[in-house]
Each structure stands twice: as structure tokens, then as C-alpha cells.
Chains A and B, each alone.
Chain A
Amino acid sequence: MFRVLSILISTLFIAAIGFSLTEYKENLTSDKAIAYSRKLPERVTVNQAREELTLAKRAAHAGLGSARSQIHLASVLKRNARKEVRLEDQIILYCEALSAAGSAVKLNPLKASYLLNWADLRQILSDIECKEELTKGSVKDAVEYALKLDPRNPAVTYSAAVMLMRIGERPRALALLNATLLTETALSSSKREYVLKQITSKEDLENIIPARFPQIADWSLFIKEKRPTLFQRESFTISAMQLNALKEAVKEYELGMLPFEIHKQRLLSLLPSTASSAIRQTLDAELGRVLPTGLQESKLTKEYLLKRATLSELYIVRGVIDSDTRSETTPLSRWGADQNVEIDSFAQSVGFYLPSGQNVLLIELNSKGIPASGLSEMLRLLVSDDNQHWSTPRESYKTSLVELEDQKYLSIEYSGEYHRYWKINHTGQSRSENFGAPLQSLIKVYGRTNRKAEVPQ
């Protein structure tokens, strides 16, 4: 009895050692192959590609039980297939890759990403049939099954959306992109670009972009920067989405579900990409309402925001003059330029042309830079009606500096006559060149307007 038991134990022990040795060998080979692939540069040479494929095949063969090595082989084959010139050779490699991906699914049928990998390769091959095993099946079924396995994983929903988009299932794909954005707020830049490319209409915007924070602020800014024409054309829709998100955020804050700091950060994050003057005014009013009044500085900021909330942003054409030492005779020029301008440079001037039907009440220079002390006193306001003869306005004006987080606003409050041309000239001797921004965002003008929204602000 004891002898039988000891034989059994020894057999089990030997089997265990054998098994772990195999595992070790297999993992080592697979890891080696993957490590080799990772080390390769973007453009691999023919020899490097061959070596990579040999290693991947060896690893997959050695580790027949490892899904990971099969997936690696599939990806190497796919990469090699893309480089082939002849279609026939491409098909052979894609079929082999599909089969390897199929083996991975067989080994680990509950892994959604393996299923999507297979579906991706199957979709590339379209209706081409392969002689290898595990290469037959429906792309749509594989994608749907992957979604069932891992419905909340943004990597899965994103890949599923891409594949469904390719096979013409656009409405479902858009819904999946929306699901992706709801759960993932830090998509890679290439994925963000892909999502952006899918947006072509008002409906796409509403279906893809979640009208809630933080997504609405993030995506509004992204669209504004990458596709300004779309942002401008769909400003009404984006504005409505921003308003919904804003209302929801205010409600959550009022119900005590949101701490003040997060509420403030959300409001601030939307400020650079408001789609309409009305949204900017609503944001200003809400920020002005919730900011504490304890410190003198925040009291000033609060008052400033509440004042700005009552004013519309005016339509202007921005201009600039460098080294404006003869500020009373030098015309504003470089209309519409978007160069970086530091108002605290030597004799720097910035200004604007004010179309008719508008009254200036507040001129704002804003930057994240730290202004030199006393900069607001060194700014001189000049007005002109012919862009040739400049003078200080008859009415007095007040300059001040307001801070809102890292954003600084140099403001000029004015109330007086209409003039066509306006210039702010730096009269100080300092050349600190700290307080600057691209001209189009450096200077903003608020007041009363009776113009319709016909051009972007």
C-alpha cells in the first residue's frame, strides 16, 4: 500500500515538474517572441520581419496551449500581410492569421478581445474562404458575442463599433461609440480622431457625444480645435448639449451630490469652448454664484463674472501692431492674424475693428501668463474712426486685473461712444513678455449688440 502510494506521489511529482518545465519553456519562447516584436522599429527590414515571423511561429508551436502566443502570431502575420505586394500572398498570410486568431478563441472562448481580433481579420478577408481551420463564421455574430461577454469594457465597445461601422451597421456602431465615451474619458488620440471622423451631422453629434461632464467639455474643445467648421455649423446643437450638461451639473451640485471643487472645475473646463454667447453667460453667472466671497480677490472675480454674465460677446476683427511707438498715428494691421502676442512687450499694441450696431462695455485681455506688477496701469486705450488718427476716448475707463484659477483677465471697463477702431497700447518700459496668447483668444470684447449671429465669435 505504502509502495503504491509512494509510486503515485513520485509520478505526480514528476508530472508536475514536467508540466511546469513545459509551461516555463512555452512562456519563455512566447515572451521572447513578443519582446522581439516590441523591440522592432516602425519600419522593419525584410530580415527582421522574417525573424519575427519565425519566432512567433516557434512560440505558437511550442505553446500550443497558450492563447497569447496564438494572438501574437496572428498579429505578426497580419503585419507581414500588409507589407506584401501581391494580393495572393496577402490572402495566404491573412488566412494564417485568421486561423491563429481562431485558435486563440478556441483556447480562451470567454475573452472578448480575442473574438474581436478574429472578427477583425475575418472582416478584412470579406467573403474570401480560407482552407485553414477556424476561419469560418460571421463577423457580426462574433462582435455581438464579444459584446455579450464584456459589454462595459470601452476597449471592446470601441473595437466592436469600428467593425460594425465597416460592415455598414452604422446606427449600432454610433451607439457603441457613445457607450465607449460614457465609460472612457481618456481615449488615445488615434481613437479620438476616429470618433471625430464619424461625426458628420447634428444627429451624429447627439448620438455619439454624451451631453454630460466631463465629456461635453473635453469633446467641445476637441471639435472646436480639430474641426472648427463643424463646431461653427453645429453650434446650435453643441450649445443645447452644453446647456443640458450644465443644468445637470447644477442640479447635482444643488442636491449635494457634487463637491464645490469638482463643480467649479467642470464649469471652468467648459469656458474655453462655449458654443454660444448664451452658454458663456450662463457659465459666468453660475461661477459668479458659487464662488465664495471670503477673500478680497475672489470677491473681485465674483463681481467680474457676474458683470460679464450680463454682457454679450461682440463681433470684432482683431488686429495688432508690434513696436507701436507712434501709437497716435500708426494704423492697426494684420487683421485676423493668429500670431502669439504678448501685450507686455515693448510698445505692443493690440486692437480691433468694431462693426456697427454694437456698444463696448468691457474689453478683456486674457492669458495664463503672470502679468508684471502694475501692468494694468501701463495700458492705454486709444480710439479712432479712420485707423489713422488715434486719441484717448473722451469718457474715462477703468483697468483692473482679475484672476480665475490659472487664468488672468486684464479688463478695461468703458462706457461711451461708438468708435470703429480700438487699440490697447502698452506704454510701460518693461519687456517681460509674459502676458500673452494667440491674438484671437487674447482679446475679447463684451457689450451690447443688435447683430444677428452671422459669423463665429
Chain B
Amino acid sequence: MKVLCFCASVVIIFCLAIVTCVRAEEDAEIGVPPFPQDLNLERSDHPAAILIRDLSTDSLVRLAADSAASMDLILSDSFNVNSDFSIWRFRIRKGVTFHAGRELTPEDVSFSLNRCAQMKALPALSARSFFDPKTEPSDTTAWTEIALKEPLLLSERTKFVSKLSACRITPADETKLFEADWGKGDNFIGSGPYQLISFKAGTSYTLVKNSHYFDLKPSFSTIKIRAIPDPSHGLTALRLGTIVALVSNDEKVNELARKDETLLIHKCPIGSVIARRSLRFNCNNGEMDLSNLKYVG
């Protein structure tokens, strides 16, 4: 009888452990400092906006995690550049779809790059899409060409790639139609691993897993970005497991977190991110990459 009870307890504990793990992998909440009701997800430098941009949209390229001198191709799968770095040509990856369901086109890429240049997020340039007449009909353009107004020095190249990686690619038609309201509320569409589906002005944003993501499958089914006015409350929420990460620039809170062995502080472009030690939160070379946000170990 005792043996039976012991076995049953082991089984129950094992099941509970599995349920807890699965549950933990399903949803995640990230605490951020309070944000305004009219937060603009496209232009704002608030951590919430940067996080949402990173989770829900992609860029053409990204600075490589292992070396600041090289870059990873994200929405492109091939590129070439001329000798003075003034003409960059990217072939657009096939099979990438926006959350809306439509396939990404070079026209979307050109539109987004020109928009970034207009907003001074990229140096003066003109981007256009073109096709290779040898391999494709004229309506299936596959390339985007960036012509910079000024050639780049070799030393400026990394800075340019970094700016390119900050320029998010969004669907041209919807971006144009939303006009000044683009980026407000949940008026923001990308092709990233998570899709923005809901918001409460000044309180929270909810993103769900993009099951059709072209790259690594997202680990969480839902990610909520929640405003936490008091960082010390955020730390408590982190310790209780209510949230998985907290963006905090409060030195006192950060100091307390440093002493907690279950937590880790990452230096990210959005500030200090206190996260559970088991959470992979990629911040390298001053770049943040949340496409592979997940628990490890």
C-alpha cells in the first residue's frame, strides 16, 4: 500500500512538473515602465515600442551576433554591394508572409526603406524594386536596390547595417492607408515571430505566436507587454513568476536583482532587462534580437 502511495505521489508530482513547465512555456509577460496612451509603435524609443517592434516585425538584415563586422540576412537571402558601398542589392526571401497573410514583396521592402530614410532613420537614399529579366517575369520582382546618395567609408558600413537592421519592413498598402494613425494602438503589421492582436491604451499590448513564421518557431503562445509603474513591484512580480522579464532603469531595483541568483541582468538598447536566469534574452553588440526568446535548460 505504501509503495502504491509513493508511486502515485511520484506520478502526480511528475505530472504537475510537466504541467508547470508547459504552462510556463505558453505565456509570458514582460514588465516595462509606464508608457503614454498614444504610444507610437513605429517611432517611439520607449522600451515597450522597441520590444513590440522587435517581436512583431523583421528587418532586411541584422548585425551578426558573433561579429560586429558581419551581418545576418533576415528578409533577404542574397545580396551584393558595389566597391564604394553606395549601391546595395538584396534578393527578397520567398515565402515570408505578413501577419495579414499576404506575401512580402520587394515593393514592401523598398517602401519601408524609403520611409525610414524620410524619417531620418537611414541616411539619404532611394530604394526601388527590380527584377532579373533572365529568371523572372516583370511582375515577380525579387530584388530591392538601395542607392545611397553618398558613398560609405568602410568604417561607416557597420553603422549603416545597424541602421538597416533597425528599419522594420511593413506592408506598403496598409502602412499608406493608416497614414498618421500607423503605429497607434494596434495599427501595426509586420512579419515577425509574434503578431500584435490587442492593446489597452497606456496599460498593455498582447501579441500571439505567428505560427507561419519563416524562421525558428516562436516558443511562447502569447506575450504580454505590461506597464508596471513601480519597478519594485515589477521585481516582486518577477520573483513570483507573474512576469518573465522586467525593463528597469532603477538602480536600487537592479542592485537587488543582482543579488538574486535566479535572476540575470542584460544590458540592452532598451535599458537594463532583469530576466529569469532560464530565459534567453538576446542582447549582443548593443543589438537586441527577440526572435528566439525562450526558456533554456
User: Which residues does A use to contact B, with CB under 8 Å?
Assistant: 197, 199-201, 227, 229-230, 233, 315-317, 330-331, 333-339, 353, 355-356, 386-388, 420, 454-456
Contact of A355 among B102, B178, B197 (CB under 8 A): B178
Chain B residues whose CB sits within 8 angstroms of the CB of A420 once the complex forms:
181
| Contact call A455/B186, Cβ cutoff below 8 A | no
Q: Are A317 and B178 in contact (CB under 8 A)?
A: yes
A233-B139 in contact (CB<8A) = yes
A-B pairs with beta carbons under 8 Å apart, 16 shown: A200-B137, A316-B177, A330-B198, A331-B186, A331-B198, A331-B199, A333-B186, A333-B196, A333-B198, A335-B189, A336-B98, A338-B100, A356-B179, A388-B201, A454-B176, A455-B176
When chains A and B are docked, how far (Å) is the Cα of A227 from the Cα of B195?
Answer: 26
B99, B176, B201: the one contacting A386 at CB < 8 Å is: B201
Task: Answer whether residue B135 sits at the interface, using C-beta atoms and an 8 A cutoff.
Answer: no
* B138 contact set on A, CB distance < 8 A: 200-201
- Bound CA span A199–B137, Å: 8
Contacts of A201 in B (CB 8 A): 138
- With a CB–CB cut-off of 8 A, which chain B residues contact A227? 139
Instruction: Encode B190-222 as 1/0 by CB contact (under 8 A) with A.
Output: 000001111111000000000000000000000
- Which residues does chain B contribute within 8 Å of A315, judged by CB atoms? 177
The yes or no answer to B105 lying at the interface (CB within 8 A) is yes
B9 CB to closest chain A CB (Å) equals 40
Nearest Cβ distance between residue A233 and chain B, in whole angstroms?
6
Q: How far is the CB of B119 from chain A (nearest CB, A)?
A: 20
CB proximity of B206 to chain A, nearest CB, Å: 9
Residues 91-124 of B at the A interface (beta carbon under 8 Å) = 98-102, 105
Query: Is B185 an interface residue when CB atoms closer than 8 A count as contact?
Result: yes
Please determine whether A336 and B186 come into contact, CB atoms closer than 8 angstroms. Answer: no
Residue of B nearest to A338 (CB): B101
How many whole Å from A350's CB to the nearest CB in chain B?
14
Residue of B nearest to A198 (CB): B137
- The distance in angstroms between the C-alpha atoms of A227 and B103, with both chains bound, is 12
Complex partner residue of A229 from B99, B139, B176, B181, CB under 8 angstroms: B139
Question: A197, A201, A338, A455: which has the most chain B beta carbons within 10 Å?
Answer: A455
Whether the Cβ atoms of A353 and B101 lie closer than 8 Å is no
Binding site for A on B (CB under 8 A): 98-102, 105, 137-140, 171, 173-174, 176-179, 181, 185-187, 189, 195-201
Minimum CB–CB distance from B253 to chain A (whole Å) comes to 31
Q: Is the CB of A336 within 8 A of B140?
A: no
Option from B105, B139, B174 in Cβ contact (under 8 Å) with A335: B174
B102 touches A336 (CB 8 A): yes
Given A353-B177, A387-B185, A455-B176, A336–B100 Cβ distance below 8 Å?
yes
CA of A201 to CA of B98 in the docked complex: distance in angstroms? 27
Given A317-B178, A355-B177, answer yes or no on A230-B186 (Cβ-Cβ < 8 Å): no
- Whether A317 lies near B177 (C-beta < 8 A) is yes
Assembled-state Cα–Cα distance A386/B201 (Å): 9
Query: Which residues of the partner chain A approach B102 to less than 8 Å between Cβ atoms?
Result: 336, 338
- Assess the B105–A336 pair: CB atoms within 8 A: no
* The 7 residue pairs across chains A and B that have the minimum distance between CB atoms: A336-B100, A230-B139, A338-B101, A455-B173, A229-B139, A200-B137, A333-B197
Q: How many Å lie between the Cα of A190 and that of B103 in the bound state? A: 23
Q: Which of A334, A339, A353, A386 contacts B178 (CB 8 A)?
A: A353
CA distance A199 to B173 in the complex (A): 24
A337 and B176 contacting across the interface, CB-CB below 8 Å: no
The smallest beta-carbon distance between A421 and chain B, in angstroms, is 9
A337 touches B101 (CB 8 A): yes
Residues in chain A near residue B177, CB distance under 8 A = 315-317, 353, 355, 455
CA of A320 to CA of B199 in the docked complex: distance in angstroms?
A: 14
Determine which of A200, A334, A353 lies in contact with B139 in the assembled complex, contact meaning CB atoms within 8 Å: A200
**What is the minimal beta-carbon distance from A158 to any residue of chain B, in angstroms?**
20
Given A334-B100, A338-B101, A339-B101, 4 more A-B residue pairs with CB atoms under 8 Å apart are A230-B139, A334-B99, A336-B100, A336-B174
Q: Are B185 and A386 in contact (CB under 8 A)?
A: yes
Q: Which residues of A contact B139 (CB under 8 A)?
A: 200, 227, 229-230, 233
**Closest approach, in angstroms, between the C-beta of A286 and any C-beta of chain B?**
30
Q: Measured between alpha carbons, how far is A333 from B100 in the docked complex, in Å?
A: 10
- Chain B residues whose CB sits within 8 angstroms of the CB of A335 once the complex forms: 100, 174, 186-187, 189
User: Chain A nearest CB: distance from B293 CB in Å?
Assistant: 21
Q: How far is the CB of A204 from chain B (nearest CB, A)?
A: 10
Query: Could you tell me the distance in whole angstroms from the C-beta of A423 to the nearest C-beta in chain B?
Result: 14
Q: Using Cβ atoms and an 8 Å threshold, which residues of chain B touch A333?
A: 186, 196-198
